[in-house]
Amino acid sequence: MWPFKRMPKAPRSAPVFLTNTLSGKKEVFVPLKPGVVTLYSCGPTVYSTQHIGNMRGAVFADLVARLLLQNKYHVRRVINITDVGHLTGDNEGDADQGEDRMEKGARLEGLSAHDLAERYTKEYLEDIRKLNVTIDDILFPRATQYIAEQIEMVKVLEKKGHTYRIHDGVYFDTSTFPKYGELGGIPLEYLKNGSAADVHDRIALSGHARIKENKEKRNPADFALWKSSPLGSRRQQEWSSPWGRGFPGWHIECSAMSKALLGETIDIHTGGIEHIPVHHNNEIAQSESASEKQFVRYWMHQAHLTMGSEKISKSIGNTVYVSDIIERGYHPLALRYFFLQASYHSSLSFSWEALAASNEALNRLWRIARELKSETKGVSAESDASDEIRRILRDDLATPKALALLWETVRDDELSPKVRLGVLLAADEVLGLSLSEPPSFSRVSQSIPADVQTLVDEREAARSARDFARADELRIHIENRGYTVEDSPTGVVIVKK
Ligand SMILES: [Zn+2]
């Protein structure tokens, strides 16, 4: 039984526009079946905590789903949980090489791969729930629960002549799929000649990806469908198959699970732009070669979240997690607000100052929502302003424009409180900022000891008197007591170290 919680009425006639990576253009969205949308999103590899870059992907997919719900579509959603087969080399372009992230993570943490997956899946769900991602209507299948379906798909591909075997597994022969590399407009010669760096540069990736040459592969872009367990060793997670003991390649899980849960052709597939050149082109090659039907009608990709000009990466050591945001005294929804300020097409640079400003703005919106609710009993759901905000959102999820209009409207004294509240609620159906039930929240959630507070007050006084030497001295005293001081544009933030 599908876990539908909301059963919308008949579809509206107003069109929804989405940018489709397949055409590179904004298109009118028309689902395969009237009124019902199938939506698949590439999910996390659960070997460690997911950072805020991954959170941008989860919030983006949530916005797409909420937009469709607002426009009266049924939305059937899947986010896969990768708990096997994603190798350390896969994201660096060192395709099909390296250690399985789950096996490596399990070894480092002294857990079984199963327990590691349990732990980080639970954490991921808790984190995205804190960001108001509506998770009740989503299915979260795990790759290890769909091994039979993955083997089945590789068998079909083998039967149709799309595969070959080499010493470490079964590979997809990309020369058998003439459309290979079409998504994202990647010229075929790049993929054929094996310089993934050129491909990645084209979509402004900062990484230096390069497909390492595997001499046995027929074409550099060929990829593993089934990897054999290394000779003489046993993996924690391995299965028998027609090709011997081993485990599925990373790409086949998305093809197999989307087919099993949503059908051979799905309406929308979302993911980060870093997945366009390899992972998503591989998904298309596998699914369409097996089914001989179109795999995805609308591909949608969100741009990167960066730290300054750098990508967020564990190896650089600049990762930020939802738990860090809460620990520093911000509401997790401040991160969602921060994401909404940029179009999903734009890369976005995270800073604590920007987050503090988002936190401040969101608190102001909550205050306004509370005031409007106490001023008026009813809500005017329909008004020119709420129509306009719905129209802006239908135009390829233009969240920065929607936020701007929202601010303009809630400050407009010419409009009645009922209308202003109506606009707030209409916007929030998609934005998901808890404007209908604003939480009460102050910026610093931890209580600060009295002696630290006295030092903070003294420092503030010194700063106002422009006695910066004294202010610096007081900062050191505060830090010696285990707290850091951050001067954000919206005031001072005190955080326990
Ligand atoms: Zn995927």
Question: Do 280 and 335 fall within a single domain?
Answer: no
Both 292 and 318 in one domain: the answer is no
- Taking the C-alpha atoms of residue 170 and residue 226, their distance in angstroms, rounded to an integer, is 5
Does this model's pTM top 0.85? My answer is no
Distances in Å between the alpha carbon of 350 and those of 63, 313, 383?
20, 13, 35
Which residues have a Cβ under 8 Å from the Cβ of 122 and sit 6 or more positions away?
none
The sign of the dihedral angle between the CA atoms of 440, 397, 296, 212 is negative
Are 254 and 161 found together in one domain? yes
Q: Which of 270, 285, 302 is the last residue of a domain?
A: 302
- What is the Å distance from ligand 1's center to 20 Cα? 17
Ligand 1 centre distance from Cα of residue 282 (Å): 9
Residue 438 falls within a domain, yes or no? no
Per-residue CA distances from 68 to 24, 74, 208 (Å): 21, 8, 37
Backbone angles phi, psi at 93, to 5 degrees: 85, -5
Structural domain includes residue 34: yes
Same-domain status, 221 and 178: yes
- String of DSSP letters for 33-61: BTTEEEEEE---BTTS---HHHHHHHHHH
CATH classification of the domain holding 61: 3.40.50.620
d(CA 354, CA 360): 10
234 with 271, same domain?
Answer: yes
Query: Residue 258 C-alpha to ligand 1 middle, in angstroms?
Result: 9
State the total domains in the chain: 3
What are the tokens at 315?
């190896």
Do 386 and 369 fall into the same domain? yes
**Spacing, Cα 287 to ligand 1 middle (Å):** 12
Nearest to 273 by CA among 17, 24, 16: 24
Same structural domain for residues 195 and 245?
A: yes
User: What gap in Å lies between CA 275 and CA 113, rounded to an integer?
Assistant: 25
In this structure, what are the phi and psi dihedrals at residue 320, rounded to the nearest 5 degrees?
-130, 140
- Closest-CA residue to 295 (of 256, 238, 326): 256
Q: How far is the CA of 41 from the centre of ligand 1 (A)?
A: 7
Domain closes at, from 302, 328, 352: 302
For residues 234 and 344, membership in a common domain is answered with: no
The separation between the first and the last C-alpha atoms of the chain, rounded to the nearest angstrom, is: 47
Whether residues 325 and 393 share a domain: the answer is yes
Quick one: DSSP state of residue 186? Answer: -
Q: What is the CATH number of the domain that holds 331?
A: 1.10.730.10
Domain-located, residue 262: yes
Residue 416 lies in a domain: yes
135 and 217 within one domain: yes
Tokens 């929502």, residue? 369
Both 237 and 326 in one domain: the answer is no
Q: 121 lies in which domain range? A: 17-302
* Secondary structure of residue 419 in the 3-state scheme: helix
Taking the centre of ligand 1 as the mean of its atom positions, its distance from the CA of residue 269, in whole angstroms, is 9
State how far the Cα of 466 lies from the Cα of 471, in Å rounded to an integer: 8
If asked whether residues 318 and 348 sit together in one domain, one would say yes
Nearest of 269, 324, 275, 266 to residue 295 by alpha carbon:
266
The one-digit pLDDT tens for each residue of the chain (497 residues) are: 444 445 444 445 689 999 999 999 999 999 999 999 999 999 998 888 899 999 999 999 999 999 999 999 999 999 999 987 677 665 544 556 677 787 777 777 777 778 888 899 999 999 999 999 999 889 999 999 999 999 999 999 999 999 999 988 999 999 999 999 899 866 555 555 444 444 444 433 323 234 455 778 999 899 999 998 887 777 677 899 999 999 999 899 999 999 999 999 999 999 999 899 899 999 999 999 999 999 999 999 999 999 988 888 777 888 999 999 999 989 999 999 999 999 999 999 999 999 999 999 999 999 999 999 888 888 887 889 999 999 999 999 999 999 999 999 999 999 999 999 999 999 999 999 999 988 866 554 446 777 887 888 788 788 878 888 998 899 888 888 888 777 654 456 676 67
Handedness of CA 354, 357, 359, 365 (dihedral sign): negative
CA of 226 from ligand 1 middle (Å) equals 16
**Cα 349 to middle of ligand 1, angstroms:** 24
CA 395, CA 251: separation in Å to the nearest integer? Answer: 31
